[in-house]
Amino acid sequence: MQTVDARQRAALFHHLHTEAGALVLVNAWDAGSARVLEHAGARAIATTSAGMAWALGYPDGEQLPTSEFIAATARICRAVNVPVTADIERGFGRSAHDVVAFVQTLIDLGVVGVNVEDGVLSDTDRLAEPAILCERIAALREMAARMNASLFINARTDTYFVPNDDRVARFDETVRRAQLYASAGADGIFVPGMAMEDIAPFVSTVALPLNVYAGFQGAPPVHLLRRAGARRVSLGCGPLQSVFGSLRGMARKAFVDGSYDDMNASMLSVGEVNELFARR
């Protein structure tokens, strides 16, 4: 059941996709990271499925047990007051019915949005047929209506993650899938890997707000992505990759040099961290 507070957060989350500036999402992987991001000024919290899996000791790719995903998401929802949207990969289920049951549990926790993708078929270089994701989106939309719940469905397509030497054909396939997902009931479209020069023609063709990925070295700054037409910019698993890199460097300094300078350079005090989690 979606509470009144959750419906208000859902309405805010939808509205954030219509404002003049792009919605910037620095993705969280646990309750601690989510609370730090909220304190830093995040207007919404988006989870990273890869980051959640890594933080709990699993590889990416729906290897995280459903029970652990739900428990981690519950802790994130409890830790913050801003809207929470969850990356559910292909839906953590073999059928649309399974995906609906899974997302209904997330709505009960307070989640107001999901990312759900078509994805690359295992051990192949081929994308799943768009009909699969269309069925799941339509089923989620029907479930949300039945629950009188507001749910932002962000449909992801991985067209830029499969080999394709024909740039025009890839763009056309991305548009085709986006329009199919929109017809099925998606509220937004996420196209990680999209070339910068494809953003403007895409948004002039597809009505859904475009979400782009910027969690990699050399990604264009937000103002350029927004100028091109992106409405949402996600950092995905990039922040946790950076944290892991910083932690490794910090450990090597301690093990090899006996130095703690890297750790001390940006650490919060115990009091500051405790304050983050004080009852609000």
**Architecture of the 4-237 domain:** Alpha-Beta Barrel (3.20)
Mark the ranges of the chain whose per-residue pLDDT is less than 70.
279-280
Cα(27)–Cα(112) distance, rounded to whole angstroms?
A: 15
pLDDT of residue 280: 60
Which residues touch 261 (CB under 8 Å, ≥6 apart)? 253
**CB of 39 within 8 A of CB of 185?**
no
pLDDT of residue 130: 98
Rounded to the nearest integer, the mean pLDDT of the chain is 96
Q: Which amino acid is at 24?
A: V
Query: If residue 120 lies in a helix (H) or strand (E), which one and from where to where?
Result: none
pLDDT of residue 125: 85
Chain segment 142-173, per-residue pLDDT in tens:
999 999 999 999 999 999 999 999 999 999 99
